Amino acid sequence: MNGHFPWLTTLAALPFVGGLCVAAVPAGKRRLAKNVALLFSLLTLAVAVVVATKFDNDGGRFQITESYSWISSFGVRWSLGVDGIGLVLILLTAVLMPLLILASWHDADEAPVGADGSAGAGRPAPRGTHAFFALMLLVEAMVVVSFAATDVFMFYVFFEAMLIPMYFLIGGFGGAQRSYAAVKFLLYNLLGGLVMLAAVVGLYVATANQGIGVDGHGTFDFVKISQAVATGQLDIDPTAEKALFLGFMFAFAIKAPLWPFHTWLPDTMTEATPGVAVLVTAMVDKVGTFAMLRFCLEIFPDASKYFAPVVITLAVIGIIYGALLAVGQTDIKRLIAYTSISHFGFIILGIFVMTSQGQSGATLYMVNHGFSTAALLLIAGFLISRRGSKTIADFGGVQKVAPVLAGTFLVAGLATLSMPGLAPFVSEFLVLVGAFTKYKVAAIFATTGIVLAALYVLVLYQRTMTGPVRPGNEKLRDLVPRELAVVVPLIAFLLVLGVYPKPVLDAVNPAVDHTLSRVEQKDPAPTKPIEQAAGTEAHTTGGSK
């Protein structure tokens, strides 16, 4: 059903057009390019808010839908639509982008360091700044399409195409080893993409063979496919289903990233500029976890259930492994990268335990992790830019010279370690409870992550911010207004979603219930449900409401 106005296409087109406009700004006018970028990111945010107001939590599965013929010979359509999960992730993307642009304001002004570490070798490229912000907006457009695509092929195209601007963002701007990091990023993700492509094609063939599409063609229509799977109309041979599941999952596990496919992430996040690193971990990677939840589970429910124990094991390993690795790092950005690996473990755990708390928690976790990582990484970036070093040992006593920077860094760190009152606590607890109802041992191992999280955050804070002021840090400036404009909204979101996450959960819950019904999973009932226990004592115990 087509809406009256193509809201989602508009939403995706805005940053795309914005990117073109930025690129078209004359070479000398860097400031204008930045302002145009900021303007378009804000416009995108405004449209995203409009889309959110049009969304009805009690409405159908996919809303604000639109569908146009695209590559008719393969039945590929330009189909967009959002459920609660896609919607909140689009909102996250739209909210973060203006903040990222603001945070990266000066990151692309100078020529990046040479491969030997020499600062600003040569003159900056005449349109380097333009390219940087144009590419950022381009990525945003592709991420939005990925979250909204209801056509499997269309999703695949944007999932893969995202690599191109990301590659140039990582390889063109950032640290001395950026070239290596960019290639590694590209190769890992390309590999995943290739395998997925084979699986996408396989899926198409399967739908064609079983007559799901029109006129003997296959189909890429996600709604149609998942419907057919649910009704048994599409019944893929179990072995083939497992192979196809692995094909999809492989790509998403690299993107997410799931242990042991994670090793591209630390390099990327360390070498990229802080803004780009946030772009990777807060938005692009979320497409991977989002796609596990939507595509793997709904199209391959039996294979998902079959592989769930394996994925859960890898996720729990990732939680603990990422946390331990974070403790052992000597580089601030690398440390934060490993915390993300630990957190992605939680998200994937929540998805594959297949309980409503787990999956709603995982979705909320995607949003919250976006905010907490953005806060932590961007503030760390502000600190690093002042000192020209990202080595933890070079800092010390910063709270004495830059108390606001240190204080906000602590809040971001507390969010990262899931302090109650801040947003990530709710999602982490939901994931753990959801995991515990089905997989007690895995959940208990995962829960040790809360102790390790305290360790890596507080060790980082102690070494950089407390103690006597280390030589070289005496003159560090505190946060400037532009930086505050980035940090304050992030912290506000962390606080608000910490005490009142209900609006997000209300949007997400129906979509999660739908997914669970598709994989035919129900939440385990309590062993001593309180209604029964109260039965013997008459009406003394009320509900928990």
Considering only residues 185 through 224, tell me which ones interact with other proteins, judged by CB under 8 A: 186-188, 190-191, 193-194, 197-198, 201-202, 204-205, 208-209, 216-218
State the DSSP H helix or E strand holding residue 80, giving kind and residue range, or none if neither. strand 76-82
Nearest residue to 96 (alpha-carbon basis) of 513, 505, 486: 486
* Closest distance of CB 337 from other proteins, Å: 11
Three-class SS state of 183: helix
Residue with Cβ nearer other proteins (307 or 321): 321
Positions in 347-406 near other proteins (CB under 8 A): 356-357, 360-361, 397, 399-400, 404
Residue with Cβ nearer other proteins (163 or 348): 163
Q: Check if the beta carbon of residue 65 is closer than 8 Å to that of residue 1.
A: yes
Q: Which residues pair with 79 in a beta bridge?
A: 67
* Closest distance of CB 462 from other proteins, Å: 5
Of 263, 391, 480, 517, which one interacts with other proteins (CB under 8 A)?
263
Residue with Cβ nearer other proteins (23 or 469): 469
Residue with Cβ nearer other proteins (12 or 76): 76
157: tokens are: 């195209």
* Closest distance of CB 97 from other proteins, Å: 25
* Closest distance of CB 289 from other proteins, Å: 18
* Closest distance of CB 250 from other proteins, Å: 10
Radius of gyration of the chain (CA): 23
* Closest distance of CB 69 from other proteins, Å: 16
Distance of CA 476 to the CA centre of its chain: 32
- Asked if 173 interacts with other proteins (CB under 8 A), we say no
Of 64, 88, 108, 182, which one interacts with other proteins (CB under 8 A)?
182
- d(CA 242, CA 165) in angstroms, rounded, equals 32
- Asked if 420 interacts with other proteins (CB under 8 A), we say yes
- d(CA 376, CA 413) in angstroms, rounded, equals 6
Residue with Cβ nearer other proteins (1 or 215): 215
Positions in 516-545 near other proteins (CB under 8 A): 523-530, 533-534, 536-537, 540-545
How many Cα atoms within 13 Å fall on the side-chain side of residue 437? 21
Q: Check if the beta carbon of residue 74 is closer than 8 Å to that of residue 220.
A: yes
Three-class SS state of 543: coil
* DSSP structural state of residue 68: E
State the binding string over 424-463 for other proteins (x if CB under 8 A, else -).
Answer: -xx--xx-xxx-xx-----xx--xx-xx--xx--xx--x-
- d(CA 353, CA 140) in angstroms, rounded, equals 30
- Asked if 165 interacts with other proteins (CB under 8 A), we say no
- Asked if 72 interacts with other proteins (CB under 8 A), we say no
- d(CA 369, CA 431) in angstroms, rounded, equals 13
Residue with Cβ nearer other proteins (85 or 101): 85
- Asked if 421 interacts with other proteins (CB under 8 A), we say yes
- d(CA 96, CA 403) in angstroms, rounded, equals 25
Of 9, 35, 57, 179, which one interacts with other proteins (CB under 8 A)?
179
446: tokens are: 């995962």
Three-class SS state of 402: coil
Positions in 91-150 near other proteins (CB under 8 A): none
Residue with Cβ nearer other proteins (104 or 356): 356
Alpha-helical segments (H) within 256-389: 264-271, 274-278, 285-291, 297-299, 301-327, 332-352, 356-387
- Asked if 42 interacts with other proteins (CB under 8 A), we say no
* Closest distance of CB 542 from other proteins, Å: 7
* Closest distance of CB 200 from other proteins, Å: 8
Residue with Cβ nearer other proteins (6 or 397): 397
* Closest distance of CB 35 from other proteins, Å: 30
* Closest distance of CB 226 from other proteins, Å: 20
* Closest distance of CB 248 from other proteins, Å: 15
User: Residue 168: is it exposed, middle or buried by C-beta count within 10 angstroms (0-12/13-18/19+)?
Assistant: middle
Q: Check if the beta carbon of residue 283 is closer than 8 Å to that of residue 140.
A: yes
Residue with Cβ nearer other proteins (19 or 193): 193
- d(CA 545, CA 543) in angstroms, rounded, equals 5
Positions in 481-520 near other proteins (CB under 8 A): 499-502, 505-506, 509, 512-513
Nearest residue to 96 (alpha-carbon basis) of 55, 147, 60: 147
- Asked if 154 interacts with other proteins (CB under 8 A), we say no
Residue with Cβ nearer other proteins (44 or 509): 509
395 φ, ψ (degrees, to nearest 5): -105, 175
Positions in 50-69 near other proteins (CB under 8 A): none
* Closest distance of CB 529 from other proteins, Å: 5
Q: Which residues contact 356 (CB under 8 A, 6 or more apart)?
A: 434, 509, 512, 513, 516, 523
Number of residues counted as binding other proteins (CB under 8 A) = 103
Residue with Cβ nearer other proteins (51 or 246): 246
* DSSP structural state of residue 480: -
State the binding string over 302-341 for other proteins (x if CB under 8 A, else -).
Answer: -------------------x--xx-xxx------------
- d(CA 104, CA 98) in angstroms, rounded, equals 10
